């Protein structure tokens, strides 16, 4: 495999694939990348709380899946089996057949946009500096959130208030130079259905697109409410899957 040394190398090799460019956020600072023919692999440490090995390229044939599996094995031998391969879902399922028995698979969605959503109506979205207040809201509304106050990769919290009370938040986190990332979206149960999440996401995504050129987030397959909000804000859904390889022969 040929090593890719810069974000420009990743952009050229992947055709500007946003998932690959996001994974390249720490290239040269613990991150690594390779090209194998038309395949591009990017090892990204601590990307949304996981060490991830993003793999993009032509994987829609049995031969392509087998080749990708060989490339995944080679990359994991370099960076370690703690890295989780992340691929388009159909490709992940095909590549998994060529990896060791017991390779796990977790399905979810990557969504992105390069168009700022329109400004929301209703209560203004503001920056939130009180990390204890954000933590208390997350403990109540989204205890499983990957984005938490105090994480050095979580850069800014946005929120909606009513009468001084914080109703909902979202965070700018794990940004890459060319792809901003939104995480930590949470609304107090008593305030759900009132457009709070849509407002904080609209403002957060618009800021990220203007600053980075594109914005993205991850979403669980079974979170129908979030999927609907993100679709209305103009994000495109890309079904993906993360693999857990138990060993690297």
Residue 163 and residue 91 share a domain? no
**Which residues neighbour 102 within 8 Å (Cβ) at sequence distance 6 or greater?**
246
**Number of structural domains, the chain?**
2
Tell me whether residue 207 is in a domain: yes
pLDDT tens for residues 76-112?
Answer: 999 998 999 999 999 999 999 999 999 999 999 999 9
Query: Does residue 146 share a domain with residue 102?
Result: no
First-last CA distance in the chain: 18
Positive or negative CA dihedral for 10, 16, 20, 23?
positive
Domain assignment of residue 56, yes or no: yes
What does the mean pLDDT of the chain come to? Answer: 95
pTM of this prediction exceeds 0.75: yes
Task: Identify whether residues 70 and 96 lie together within a single domain.
Answer: yes
**Together in a domain, 136 and 224:** yes
Give 249's pLDDT tier (boundaries 50, 70, 90): low
What is the domain extent for residue 227? 125-233
Assess whether 130 and 104 both reside in one domain.
no
In a domain, 22, yes or no: yes
Q: Are residues 130 and 107 in the same domain?
A: no
- For 135-165, how does the pLDDT look when each residue is reduced to its tens digit (9 = 90+)? 999 999 999 999 999 999 999 999 999 988 9
Do the domain assignments include residue 28?
A: yes
Do 44 and 93 have their domain in common?
yes
Alpha helices in 24-152 (DSSP H): 62-79, 89-96, 131-141
Domain co-membership, 95 together with 146: no
CA 227 to chain centre: 14
Residue 117 in any domain: the answer is no
Residue 158 lies in a domain: yes
Q: Could you tell me if residue 119 is inside a domain?
A: no
Task: Report whether pLDDT(62) > 90.
Answer: no
Condensed to tens digits (0 to 9), the pLDDT of residues 38-61 reads: 999 999 999 999 999 999 998 777
Sign of CA dihedral 44, 181, 208, 139: negative
* 118 domain-assigned: no
Do 143 and 167 fall into the same domain? yes
């Amino acid at each position: 495999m040929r090593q890719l040394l810069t974000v420009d190398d990743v952009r050229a090799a992947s055709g500007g694939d946003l998932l690959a460019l996001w994974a390249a956020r720490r290239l040269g600072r613990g991150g690594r990348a390779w090209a194998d023919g038309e395949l591009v692999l990017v090892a990204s440490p601590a990307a949304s709380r996981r060490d991830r090995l993003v793999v993009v390229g032509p994987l829609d044939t049995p031969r392509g899946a087998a080749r990708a599996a060989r490339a995944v094995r080679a990359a994991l031998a370099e960076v370690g089996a703690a890295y989780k391969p992340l691929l388009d879902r159909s490709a992940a399922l095909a590549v998994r057949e060529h990896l060791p028995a017991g390779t796990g698979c977790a399905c979810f969605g990557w969504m992105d946009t390069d168009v700022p959503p329109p400004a929301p109506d209703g209560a203004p979205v503001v920056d939130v500096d009180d990390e204890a207040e954000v933590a208390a809201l997350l403990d109540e509304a989204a205890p499983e959130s990957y984005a938490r106050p105090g994480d050095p990769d979580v850069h800014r919290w946005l929120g909606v208030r009513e009468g001084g009370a914080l109703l909902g938040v979202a965070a700018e986190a794990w940004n890459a130079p060319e792809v901003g990332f939104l995480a930590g979206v949470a609304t107090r149960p008593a305030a759900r259905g009132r457009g709070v999440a849509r407002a904080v996401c609209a403002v957060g995504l618009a800021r990220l697109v203007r600053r980075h050129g594109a914005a993205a987030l991850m979403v669980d397959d079974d979170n129908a409410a979030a999927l609907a909000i993100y679709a209305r804000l103009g994000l495109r859904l890309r079904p993906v899957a993360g693999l857990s390889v138990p060993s690297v022969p």
